[in-house]
Structure formats: C-alpha cells, structure tokens
Amino acid sequence: MLYRNRMEHLEVPIIHRSGRVADAPIIARMARDYIEDGLRWTWRPRRIQRALLDRKTTVLVAETPRGPGMEIAGFGIMRFGIEEAHLSLLAVRPSYRRRRIARNLLERLESSARVAGMGEVQLEVRTGNDAALELYRQLGYREVRHLPGYYGGRESALRMTRDLTAEAR
Ligand SMILES: CC(C)(COP(=O)(O)OP(=O)(O)OC[C@H]1O[C@@H](n2cnc3c(N)ncnc32)[C@H](O)[C@@H]1OP(=O)(O)O)[C@@H](O)C(=O)NCCC(=O)NCCS
C-alpha cells in the first residue's frame, strides 16, 4: 500500500503487521520520545512486552523499508475490555507524519474492536496535543471529560470516546 502526503513525491510504502516481542524496545523508545515527552516514562520495554503478550491487547505496527531492512514508522496499541476498547498508545515518527499513517492504524484498530464486539473506543490525550486532538476529532471522537493532573499531576488530559455502533463516516 502506498501512503501519499499531499505532495505526491512524498509517498512511502507501508506494511501493517502485528507487533512482535522483538519490537518492544523500539516501541517503548517511540512512546518515550513522542508520547510521554516531558513526562515520566511509564511505557518501558517490559510494559510494552506485556501488552504484546496480552491476548486482550492488539499491537499494530506500520512499517516501511529503510536501508536493507524495515523501520517502524508508527504503531498503535488498543486494549479490549468487555464492551469498550481503550486506545493506550498511538504514535508516528516525525519523518513519516501527515501521510495518514495514524489515521489508518486507528481505523484498523477500530475495525478489530468492532469485530470483537466493542461498542465504544475511549482514549486520553494531553490537552495541549493539538495534532492528536485534530486527528481524533476528524475520526469522530468527542471530548467527554477533562481530567486535571491526569499525567502524574503535571498535565491534564481530555478523555475522548467514539461510538463504534454509530453509522460509518
Ligand atoms: C498525532 C499523530 C499520531 C498523528 O500522526 P500522523 O500519521 O501524522 O496523522 P495523519 O497523517 O493520519 O493525520 C490525519 C489527520 O489528523 C489531523 N492532523 C494530524 N497531524 C496534525 C497536525 N500536526 N496538525 C493539525 N492536524 C493534524 C489532520 O486532520 C490529518 O488529516 P490531513 O493530513 O488530511 O489534514 C502524530 O503527530 C504523533 O505521533 N504525535 C506524537 C504522539 C502523539 O501525540 N500520539 C497521540 C496521543 S497518544
């Protein structure tokens, strides 16, 4: 699959696959640098590894050829509950952003959630994270709660939800 930026020459081939235990250190570093930036690093390799081995959690990776191998351009982690799914993490490397990689990852995770019988997806996002807020709003997520000090008392979050039973956009 080719992912195009608005500028045609910036297309990159993307392959989606399930995360593997060997990905844990890379995903954890991406979580530290792009998601928990400025906060305490809580998604360390061990925690990512537990998510990778957890049957109720899906770890989806978007990777692209780089040099002789492949590079993880982005990933998403979603945990399935009884009726609700929770988006735990979602990140794309800066050099691959604005190519709809996050959008695609999230849509694929939502499809899995629907198949698993989930009626809703919940997530928390830092209040100042305009890029993520815009992405989630565009995908039909609505803010349902303001959570002051959610991130270790240092930063507040917005809880957002999307009703998966509503008609497809
Ligand atoms: C938020 C993030 C995941 C978006 O990844 P991405 O692959 O660049 O996003 P997409 O290309 O799929 O964007 C889809 C839509 O979201 C919105 N969006 C994404 N990035 C945006 C930005 N920087 N500014 C404004 N809108 C943005 C746009 O509406 C975009 O559609 P468009 O490009 O057609 O205008 C990425 O910026 C990131 O990894 N940030 C750091 C980690 C993070 O914040 N994770 C989410 C919270 S856990």
CA-nearest residue, atom 33 of ligand 1: 98
Q: Specify the pTM.
A: 0.94
For ligand 1, whether the C-beta of 87 sits within 6 Å is no
- Ligand 1 pocket mutation pick from 41, 61, 92, 99 by most atoms within 8 angstroms of CB: 92
Ligand 1 contact via 27 beta carbon (within 6 Å): no
Calculate how far, in angstroms, residue 167's C-alpha sits from the geometric centre of ligand 1. 23
What is the per-residue pLDDT across 20-63, written as a single tens digit (0 to 9) for each?
Answer: 999 999 999 999 999 999 999 999 999 999 999 999 999 999 99
Question: Using only C-alpha atoms, what is the Rg of the chain?
Answer: 16
Q: pLDDT band at residue 5, thresholds of 50, 70 and 90?
A: very low
In tens, the pLDDT along 66-79 reads 999 999 999 999 99
- CA-nearest of 65, 72, 56 to 24 is 72
The domain made up of 2-119 is a member of CATH 3.50.50.60: no
pLDDT in tens, 119-145: 999 999 999 999 999 999 999 999 999
